[in-house]
Chains A and B, each alone.
Chain A
């Protein structure tokens, strides 16, 4: 899905309009998607937050927030750039259009905002009165640990992103990821299989 848009720095907005062919030029303003490219803007990591400098506009660095439009399916494409008032400044179609420090700053901000624990092994699942308690071996950032969490509605809390990937949201709203269900060890798989 994320590969459907390939906006390069040479592609103009009018070309995008021709690409979709839905509207004429008069419709441009209403449907205008401002694609942010390395030519227009640069990004800087300010140790805890991200700033963007509008090269074309000539303004100073402005604090921005990144928002993934499809956080489950892609962390590198279709990234909305919002200002402090949560209004969209523009859209990065693919962060790989950026290079060097810009790319590193963007990646860091995305990792910061879309932090997710990865489940490596399922040690135990206890089912009591419809509430399941999980004990898992997880990786959070650069540390591996054993964690416990509970799911109120187990079936509804496990979301199958695709054939391999699972997202689990516990009753406190924390998210856990199993990147490849097939890569789990046999015992772990047998434990979770019932809920898939």
Chain B
């Protein structure tokens, strides 16, 4: 629990170093010791965790500390310069009924509601600094009953903070997206490429070979110019014995041709191997990422948007492909090329190199400053592009609503605005690039003009031949490539590392629901919720202290107003989430101890929304039991009413369902879902508004099928038409505080409570 302290809340000064973080942690512990010494003199309680806060109940600046002890918690407030008297309070966990957290307009506050009535304010803090207090207060609920703690709730996960910026890390994340270690990511990236080291080595060798070929060409040029084109001896010999001149000349020409062909062949081989390696790597990464997403809990997946996950799997992995494919081997080649050409020039005449390199520092400094500006602009451009995509996605997915309300013009304007923003930023970026690129190119090439001046003088003085000058010119033109490439390398590398960091963040994400080998057994269907509390986020508890026992074969109906936690109850029963505290037992065994595949393999669910995959109707029906025979599928289809519409489709059960295929109506989809559940023959059946999309006649038909399906099968059902739950063995009425009522339909009607009100309201509505 909060074992690592938040450096930002640790007192004055927002330290970023590790030492200062430790100092902040020590300061908090010291402050806790001081408070305990005052409030509990003579005792030496064990501090489990502590966190500072900076406002009192009247929003006055204070040095507050919240300390979690073994048996209770302490909230203590003192003021700088003892401006006001210090005060503190100890609250026993056993006396706490509930911890209430509020995030109001500008202030976060935590309070303890006591069992005997009464309220103890625990802490106040600005919203910005409140992140560390939430898990601490949340853990009070878990600690208030030591027995309950032993039974286990959600495994306590320490709240961790980024060691550099001090911001709390997202649950499961190991690094902060803003300040990840580029060195570590680069190392990981290299590790990712390690299995392909042989191919990479091969590509590097090919690059070297290519470079060798390129370096020979200027030498041949020099020989051709000096020995044949501008040679007086050769010109004399050509008149007397032309063969002696022409044959070697043709040999050199042929050599040039051969070098061209070799260059082409090596380039082709390089492209082929690089492409194969790049595609292989990206497929590997995508497979790993996809498998990882499959193993993450729903809670973890929901912390990211679908777009985010898709961008990471498709877009970011594409960046890695480019890196492994192109950048990594190119990097070695360009560096080596730069070194070798520099050495050749230096060996021949070091002054040549110095003259060429003279303006480079200024140019490189200009490039760096230019890249800082373009990077910022490119960032804005990317942001604008994603804004346009998001708007497009938003509008297209809600096109029915747009049409229904006739807001096409408004949406046109909305999309037009975002597109215009993207256009403006893009134009700005391109203008900057267009402005700066000629200067950079000039800066890089200005050395060659000095060089031309120098070598021209050398030719006139007779210390340099025209052939040698041509050779140096070739080398100079060759050296620009690595220079230009290296100038853009940092920004490209940063882009690759950012993508790689997102990939590793996803790959390194801890799997919230452990998938290690658990209990594998045939489930009878006894489900027991024991003091189960759960919330989708730390602040809002949806289910509170729920205890219920569902016997094997029993049908339980869940009833309650919208937001009462009915679907959450089902999500927990399916172990899509783990509860925060308490436990859920299936046949007496904790649901978390089951092998997830075994547990879910014996669950059947008909949910509000039926997802159909691209494929035939038959494949979709068989999704819940891939080895089902045709006879089984037909029977289940008959029972669920799928057969009735399947025989009317021209392609029958082979009808293709998907984006470009046949579109099933809401009722048809629901029938497919019911058929799937029947086919699975589950020990536990979950029905979440299973007949909500059906008309009354079809609902009656499906209810008949469901009544067969639920017979002798543990069933948890939610239905908007309460009459469909009339035959349930037990009806549980949920409200925001927990279970409000429980009993049979007749009992609850007789009690004239919340259930009675809901039934009456529905009857009145017709």
Q: Is the CB of A20 within 8 A of B630?
A: no
Whether A31 lies near B636 (C-beta < 8 A) is yes
- Cα–Cα distance between A2 and B651 once the two chains are bound (Å): 15
In the complex, are the beta carbons of A72 and B678 less than 8 A apart?
A: no
On whether the beta carbons of B654 and A73 are closer than 8 Å, the reply is yes
A30 touches B705 (CB 8 A): yes
For the complex, give the distance between the alpha carbons of A67 and B652 in Å: 8
Q: A153 touches which one: B650, B652, B660 (CB < 8 A)?
A: B660
Instruction: List the B side residues contacting A30 at CB < 8 Å.
Output: 638-639, 704-705, 708
Are B652 and A70 in contact (CB-based, < 8 A)? yes
Q: Dominant SS at the B interface? A: helix
Determine whether the beta carbon of A78 is less than 8 Å from that of B660: no
B652 touches A1 (CB 8 A): no
B704 engages A80 (CB within 8 Å): no
Q: Is A68 a contact partner of B652 (Cβ separation < 8 A)? A: yes
For residue B675, give the distance in angstroms from its CB to the closest CB of chain A. Answer: 11
Q: Is the CB of A31 within 8 A of B651?
A: no
Q: Do A1 and B630 contact each other (CB < 8 Å), given the known contacts A70-B652, A72-B654? A: yes
Decide: B634 and A2 in contact? CB cutoff 8 A. Answer: no
- One of A23, A69, A156 near B635 (C-beta < 8 A): A23
Given A1-B630, A68-B652, A69-B653, CB of A80 within 8 Å of CB of B647: yes
In the bound complex, residues from chain A placing their C-beta under 8 Å from that of B630 are: 1-2, 4-5, 78
**Do most interface residues of chain A lie in helix, strand or loop, or is the interface mixed?**
mixed
Contact of A80 among B631, B636, B652, B654 (CB under 8 A): B652
Q: Is the CB of B654 within 8 A of A70?
A: yes
What separation, in Å, do the CA atoms of A73 and B655 have in the docked complex? 12
A31 pairs with B639, CB closer than 8 A: yes
Q: A26-B711, A80-B652 are in contact. Are A33 and B681 (CB under 8 A)?
A: no
Chain B residues with CB under 8 Å of A20's CB are: 629, 631-632, 635
B648 at interface (Cβ–Cβ under 8 A)?
A: yes
In the bound complex, what is the Cα–Cα distance between A105 and B705 (angstroms)?
36
CB-defined contacts of A195 to chain B, threshold 8 Å: none
Cβ of B618 under 8 Å from chain A: yes
CB of A33 within 8 A of CB of B708, answer no
Interface membership of chain A positions 82-98, coded 1 if the CB is closer than 8 angstroms to chain B and 0 otherwise: 10001010010000000
Contacts of B711 in A (CB 8 A): 24, 26
Residue of A nearest to B632 (CB): A20
CA distance A88 to B643 in the complex (A): 9
Name A156's contact: one of B644, B653, B660 (CB within 8 Å): B660
Instruction: Tell me if A67 and B647 are in contact (CB < 8 A).
Output: yes
Residue among B648, B704, B708 having the largest count of chain A Cβ atoms under 10 Å: B708
Note all chain A residues with C-beta closer than 8 A to B654.
Answer: 69-73
Distance (whole angstroms) from the CB of B151 to the closest CB of chain A:
38
Residues of the B chain whose Cβ atoms lie less than 8 Å from the Cβ of A71: 650-652, 654
Asked whether B646 is an interface residue with its Cβ less than 8 Å from the other chain, the reply is: yes
Q: Which chain A positions have C-beta within 8 A of B652? A: 67-71, 80
Q: How far is the CA of A24 from the CA of B656 in the complex (A)?
A: 32
**Which residues of B lie under 8 Å from residue A24 when comparing CB positions?**
711
> Which residue of A has the minimal Cβ distance to B647?
A80
- Specify which chain A residues have a CB less than 8 angstroms from the CB of B660 in the assembled complex: 153, 156
**Per-position contact with A for B606-648: 1 when CB-CB < 8 Å, else 0?**
0000000000001000000000011110111011000110111
For residue A110, give the distance in angstroms from its CB to the closest CB of chain B: 13
- We find that the number of chain B residues with CB closer than 8 angstroms to chain A is 29
**Least CB distance, B288 to chain A, in whole angstroms:** 28
Is A126 among interface residues, defined by CB-CB distance under 8 A? no
B647 touches A22 (CB 8 A): no
Q: Decide if A16 is an interface residue (CB 8 Å cutoff).
A: yes
- The 8 A CB mask of B201-225 against A (1 = contact, 0 = none) is 0000000000000000000000000
Query: Which residues in window 39-86 of A have CB below 8 A to B?
Result: 67-73, 78, 80, 82, 86
Return B567 CB to nearest CB of chain A, in Å: 28
In the complex, which residues of chain A have a beta carbon less than 8 angstroms from the beta carbon of B650? 71
Contact of B708 among A19, A27, A68, A70 (CB under 8 A): A27
Indicate if A191 sits at the interface (CB-CB under 8 A): no
Nearest CB of A to B459, in Å:
58
A121 to B705, CA, bound (A): 51
Q: Is A32 an interface residue (CB 8 A)?
A: yes
Residues of A within 8 A of B646 (CB): 69
Closest to B712 in A: A24
Is the pair B644, A88 in contact by a Cβ cutoff of 8 Å? yes
Once A22-B678, A70-B653, A70-B654 are accepted as A-B contacts, the answer to whether A33 and B635 lie under 8 Å apart by CB is yes
Across-interface contacts of A31 in B (CB, < 8 A): 635-636, 638-639, 708
Q: A22-B681, A80-B652 are in contact. Are A32 and B638 (CB under 8 A)?
A: yes
* Nearest CB of A to B418, in Å: 29
A1 CB, min distance to chain B CBs, angstroms? 6
Instruction: Give the docked Cα–Cα distance between A43 and B137 (Å).
Output: 78
Q: Which of these, A23, A33, A153, contacts B634 with CB under 8 Å?
A: A33
CB contacts (< 8 Å) of B679 on chain A: these are: 22
Report the minimum CB–CB distance from A90 to chain B (whole Å).
Answer: 11
Most buried by B among A16, A31, A33, A69: A69
CA distance A1 to B650 in the complex (A): 19
By beta carbon, the residue of chain A nearest B646 is A69
Point out the residues of chain A lying under 8 angstroms from B643, CB to CB. Answer: 88
Instruction: State whether A72 and B651 are in contact (beta carbons under 8 Å apart), knowing that A26-B708, A33-B638 are contacts in the complex.
Output: yes
Query: What CA separation (Å) do A27 and B654 show in the bound complex?
Result: 26
Contact of B618 among A5, A70, A153 (CB under 8 A): A70
A22 to B635, CA, bound (A): 9
- Given the complex, which residues of A lie within 8 Å of B705, measured CB to CB? 30
Provide the bound-state CA to CA distance between A26 and B639, in Å. 12
Give the shortest distance, in Å, between B681 (CB) and chain A (any CB).
6
Cα–Cα distance between A156 and B618 once the two chains are bound (Å): 19
Contacts of A80 in B (CB 8 A): 647, 652
Task: Tell me which residues across on chain A come within 8 A of B635, comparing CB atoms.
Answer: 20, 22-23, 31, 33
Q: Are A82 and B678 in contact (CB under 8 A)?
A: no
Chain A residue, CB-CB nearest to B658: A156
Task: Give the distance in Å from the alpha carbon of A102 to the alpha carbon of B708 in the complex.
Answer: 37
B648 contacts which chain A residues (CB < 8 A)?
67, 86
- CB nearest to B630 among chain A residues: A4
Contact, CB under 8 Å: B631 / A19: yes
Interface string of B665-696 (1 = CB under 8 A from A): 00000000000001101000000000000000
CA gap between A23 and B704 in the complex, in Å: 14
- Chain A residue with the shortest CB-CB distance to B638: A31
Closest to B651 in A: A71
Query: Complex Cα distance A67/B646, Å?
Result: 10
Identity of the chain A residue whose Cβ is nearest the Cβ of B679 in the assembled complex: A22
A19 to B628, CA, bound (A): 12
CB neighbours of A82 from chain B (8 A):
647
Query: What separation, in Å, do the CA atoms of A86 and B649 have in the docked complex?
Result: 11
Bound: A30/B656 CA distance, A: 26
CA distance A80 to B653 in the complex (A): 11
A10 vs B708: C-alpha distance when bound (angstroms): 28
**Considering the complex, which residues of chain B in the window 437-490 have a beta carbon less than 8 Å from any beta carbon of chain A?**
none
Q: Closest CB-CB distance, A25 to chain B, in whole Å?
A: 11
Query: Which residues of B have CB within 8 Å of A91?
Result: 634
Please name the residue on chain B nearest to A156 by beta carbon.
B660
A196 to B252, CA, bound (A): 49
A24 to chain B: closest CB distance in Å? 8
Name which of B631, B652, B678 has the most chain A CB atoms within 10 A of its CB.
Answer: B631
A67 CA to B654 CA, complexed, in Å: 12
18 other A-B residue contacts (CB within 8 Å) besides A16-B631, A22-B678, A70-B653? A1-B630, A4-B629, A4-B631, A5-B631, A20-B631, A23-B639, A24-B711, A68-B652, A69-B646, A69-B653, A70-B618, A70-B654, A71-B650, A71-B651, A72-B654, A73-B654, A78-B634, A80-B647
Q: Could you write out 23 A-B pairs with CB less than 8 Å apart? A: A1-B630, A2-B630, A4-B629, A4-B630, A5-B630, A5-B631, A20-B631, A20-B632, A20-B635, A23-B708, A30-B639, A31-B638, A31-B708, A67-B648, A69-B646, A69-B652, A69-B654, A70-B653, A72-B651, A72-B654, A73-B654, A80-B652, A91-B634
Going nearest first, the 10 A-B pairs with the smallest beta carbon separation are A69-B652, A31-B635, A27-B708, A80-B647, A31-B639, A4-B629, A4-B630, A72-B654, A30-B639, A31-B638
